Amino acid sequence: MRVLALGGSGGMGRFSSFAISSNSKITKVTIADLNESSAKEFARNFDERFSGIGIDVSDKEELEKLMQNHDIVLNTTGPFFKLGVSILKSAINCKCHYLDICDDWEPTLEMLNLDDAATKNGVTAIIGLGASPGISNLLGLKAMKELDSVSSVITGWDISSAKPEDESSQSGTNAAMEHGLQQVTGEIKIFKEKKFKNTKPLEKISINYPGRGNFNVYLFGHPEAITFPHHYKDIKESFNVCHGANESNIYIIKILRWLVDNKVISFKSGALFLEWLERNLGTTPSIEKQTKGLPAIYGLAQGTKNQKTATVAVTLSKEELINPWGMGAITGFPLAFGLELFLENKINQKGVFAPEGAIEPDEFFSLLTDHPLEISRSWEC
């Protein structure tokens, strides 16, 4: 298997590159990055199967020429609202299988619409296989599987732990911060009353986590809100939410949103400020917060069990939640595990899917952690 790792020496990609390096089924890995020297230097950390090259992924002709010499693409280049759709189209054109960490809902809609083209060309494409989306989707799917019927799915994550990686090939505006700003400005899409609706991000809502109580959370623009109802047609409601920021920090982000939406400051300036905010105000959640409050990442499903209203929440084990994962590791490693499942023929459907549409949760989590997931059921609380 010949792997093309786009952005493979970046803040997220370097972790997936590291994680696939021991897989004997992989015969070639090309680390491709806009920063050629960084790609080549990073590739020297591995064996002779790895090489580094420079490429501008917006150059379609050069990108497709490169793809034709590979079997599968791991795409960690961002922001995805700028680059995701075109790269997936090129992969499908070249009959190259595809995995990415797309975390923007706007391109996710377009990418899911490429399902027929991917199926026709025999391509398997999994989009959004990082932390959130990715781990969160599969936690949500695990929660759904506990119920007899599902009406609502909510995926959530702790915004205070989303610090940018210090080590990366990237210079200039941080792609993760561009993504973050994109998803708290303008409008976002949610699924409510069996319909897609646009709303303002950071709207406060209340959720009940079985065994832990009621919490205020904030709507965030992410793919999970649209991919669950895409794959599971009976769902009536689907949201992605964040928590972990205090009211004053949310207020600051809302002011930033107003400044960008009204063109008082540029999008680039807003992304730079958001990066500063994350680096200086972000904190690692405490053990008590992880075990008694809302965990750093979770899936929450509501529906029925034995003909009664029921709710199930699923998160990682306490051991994993207190593990000081960086944003690069918790995002990059799931992509590598997706490749492993693909190589084992455990992901074999053709077309374009979010993680919950093509991956068995137990098979994925057996690679991510040695500890059992924590499942909270309303009928046991």
Same domain (yes/no): 281, 150: yes
Q: 253 near 245, Cβ under 8 Å?
A: yes
**Number of domains into which the chain is organized:** 2
Q: Looking at per-residue confidence, does 41 or 261 come out higher?
A: 41
Chain-wide mean pLDDT for the chain?
90
pLDDT tens by residue, 206-245 = 999 999 999 999 999 899 999 999 999 999 999 999 988 6
Same domain (yes/no): 317, 359: no
14 Cβ contact list (under 8 Å, min separation 6): 8, 42, 167, 168, 169, 328, 332
> What is the model's pLDDT at position 26?
97
Same domain (yes/no): 307, 359: no
Same domain (yes/no): 301, 156: yes
Return the number of other C-beta atoms located less than 10 Å from residue 146's C-beta: 19
DSSP 8-state class, residue 346: S
User: Exposure of 267 by Cβ count < 10 A (0-12 exposed, 13-18 middle, 19+ buried)?
Assistant: middle
Residue 320 C-beta-side C-alpha neighbours within 13 Å: 20
Same domain (yes/no): 126, 159: no
Same domain (yes/no): 341, 266: no
Q: What type of residue sits at position 116?
A: D
Same domain (yes/no): 249, 152: yes
| CATH classification at residue 255 | 3.30.360
Same domain (yes/no): 356, 375: no
Same domain (yes/no): 311, 344: no
Same domain (yes/no): 314, 340: no
- Domain range spanning residue 294? 135-323+370-380
Q: 378 near 310, Cβ under 8 Å?
A: yes
Same domain (yes/no): 248, 115: no
Structure tokens belonging to residue 122? 């025999």
Q: 48 near 27, Cβ under 8 Å?
A: no
DSSP sequence for 194-248 = TEEEEE-TT-EEEEEETTTEEEEEEE---THHHHHHHH-TT--EEEEEEE---HH
| CATH classification at residue 337 | 3.40.50.720
Same domain (yes/no): 178, 310: yes
pLDDT tens by residue, 53-66 = 999 999 999 999 99
